[in-house]
Structure 1
Amino acid sequence: MTATMEFGLFIPQGWRFDLTEVAEADQWSVMRDLAQRADRGDHWQSLWVYDHFHTTPVHSEEATHEAWTLMAALAASTDRIRLGQMCTCMAYRNPMYLAKVAATIDHVSAGRLEMGIGGGWYEHEWRAYGYGFPRAGVRLGMLDEGVQIFKQAWETGHATLDGTHYQVDDALCFPLPRQAGGPPLWIAGGGEKVTLKIAAKYARYTNFDGSPEGFTHKSALLADHCREVGTDFDAITRSSNYNVFIGRDEAEVAERRRAYVDRVTPHLGEERVQAQLKGFDGLAGTGTVEQVVEKLTAVRDLGMTYGIFYFPEAAYDTSGIELFENEVIPALR
């Protein structure tokens, strides 16, 4: 039987210079309206935001709205759709505090929260906020210990850990989350020796490279780790993120690409824009409807059954989202 796909939608929050033409006073209403639009239909299973404080790939004074504040606001503004972060940086908040925040938002949302979590990578942001920037092994050790705290807190309401990085002593988390055992854990990142092993131990979802070659390679490594730690590889949903330039024909695809370049070049400069385009051009989210369906079908058939999609023009123009909803999603279900 051919697998079906589920679909998540990124909400623009400024991190990728995607709210620059919206007045700051209007940005929340734009985000809320896009979320409520997705909530009303049945195309999208989930909404997603990024957990970052400064814009990328260059920091600036352009607005970047905070992820977990948005989680609470979106929980209260929607009724059906699930809500996630791709992905929360473990070290940006004490993990027991974050477990408590997540449990509360799970109640506000009536059990619709997803927990995307990772080790973090944006060095400038870490240092700017006073977190230092420990080596990768330390960041991933913090991720592992933090997830252990989440699981204790959400499953029992109590957490105790005398770890290398975190210490909690009968910290309480009541009420328990609405979802039994807590929000599903998405362990994001494709680190081959550590991150994928953490995912094998704890994750219900993973999120890594969405190219056919990269996805196949990371999936094989995840399967190896699952065998090593004694968990069920087939019980883990594998997801990927995709940037989207879509059109009914090549000319419309080119026009969306050109509009993006014109909008972000004043902020990034030509060299950085060309680097950003490498995350669009030739990949599964970019092309005509037929091309996008063909490329996504190929990676779906490799086991990628949950795609999360970013439309850079979403704050200004929803026609690309509408085309994707009407033509791509039905073809992949």
Structure 2
Amino acid sequence: MTRFGLQLPNFSLGVPDSELFGRVAELARAGEDAGFTSLWVMDHFYQLPALGGPDQPMLEAYTLLGALARETSRVQLGTLVTGVTYRNPALLAKMVTTLDVISGGRAVLGIGAAWYDVEHEGLGVDFPPVKERMDRLEDAVRICRAMFTETAPTFSGRYYRIHEARNQPRPLQRNGPPIMIGGSGEKRTLKVVAQYADMCNITGDLATVRHRIDVLRSHCRDAGRNPDEISITRLASLFLTDTDEETA
């Protein structure tokens, strides 16, 4: 079944900072009332170059989602997506669990390998080579899954570890918040999706997306997993204007 979610890609909404959250909350409620089944925000600290500049407003994702959980009642809530470099994965699991409790079981963990080097440099966050970021992503997903589903898990990976980690209160969703991996790397990212994820966000035009779904299915076969267990999502822009000329 096809479902539609709403992503809020920027917070340059033409209002003073004192009115910014009220406007964002209004958009979230309008999206839910319109029938969108999920609500997503970017997890960035600077606005992306394609959408604006670093001096434009960018609210911290999980603080915002916790507030929006109280402004909505039905939509799933998540980031599209969190860079693995931004937060310790055990802390991230705790944050998403807290969102799940606040929202009544509507949290989704969206996560990827991170890519925006400018904000890493600006905020003093390490930005390792892509292979290390992918290794960190795999560690992080495994830690988050364990903390969502086990009482006191221990895990030792390449870059992260936990020891009898507690996560109370427990997530409200039976198997914990769904884990969505963003990214379309065919050799590694989609392999990690096949092994560990519930959802993925695939980029590209329709022909590219179809090809990458085939690649994902191949990885699922190698992992002994039914590919139909993984929900496929794609991010697209929708422009609402009065005339075709304005859209162009």
Q: Deviations over 1:264-323 (max 9, x none)?
A: xxxxxxxxxxxxxxxxxxxxxxxxxxxxxxxxxxxxxxxxxxxxxxxxxxxxxxxxxxxx
Q: Which runs of 5+ in 1 are unaligned?
A: 258-333
Contact 1:157 1:175 in 2 (8 A): no
Within 5 A, what are the aligned runs for 1:35-184? 35-41=28-34, 43-57=35-49, 59-184=53-178
Whose relative contact order is higher, 1 or 2, with alpha carbons under 8 Å and at least 6 apart? 1
Q: Give the partner amino acid of 2:2.
A: M
Shift of 1:11: 2.2
Q: Which has the larger radius of gyration?
A: 1
Contact 1:210 1:241 in 2 (8 A): no
Q: Is 2:248 the partner of 1:254?
A: no
SS at the partner of 1:181? coil
- 1:24 is matched with which residue: 17, 21, 43? 17
Q: Deviations over 1:143-164 (max 9, x none)?
A: 1001111111110132312222
Q: Deviations over 1:19-75 (max 9, x none)?
A: 3x222111111100111122234x200111000000111642221111111111111
Q: Give the partner amino acid of 1:28.
A: F
The 1:101/1:233 distance shift into structure 2, 3 A limit, reads: same
Equivalent residue for 2:212?
218
Q: Is 2:7 the partner of 1:10?
A: yes
Count of equivalent residues: 246
Q: Distance in 1 between matches of 2:77 and 2:32?
A: 10
Q: Distance in 1 between matches of 2:246 and 2:117?
A: 34
What TM-score does the superposition give when structure 2 sets the normalisation length?
A: 0.94
- Identity level (%): 35
Shift of 1:126: 1.4
More helix by share: 1
Q: Deviations over 1:229-268 (max 9, x none)?
A: 1111122111100011245xxx7132245xxxxxxxxxxx
Q: Deviations over 1:140-197 (max 9, x none)?
A: 1111001111111110132312222112111110111000121011111001111000
Equivalent residue for 1:297?
none
Q: Distance in 1 between matches of 2:155 and 2:197?
A: 20
Equivalent residue for 1:189?
183
Shift of 1:210: 4.5
SS at the partner of 1:91? coil
SS at the partner of 1:114? strand
Q: Deviations over 1:122-152 (max 9, x none)?
A: 0111122222211111001111001111111
Equivalent residue for 1:283?
none
Q: Give the partner amino acid of 1:132.
A: D
Q: Which runs of 5+ in 2 are unaligned?
A: none
Contact 2:79 2:109 in 1 (8 A): yes
Equivalent residue for 1:298?
none
Equivalent residue for 1:207?
201
Q: Distance in 1 between matches of 2:99 and 2:207?
A: 37
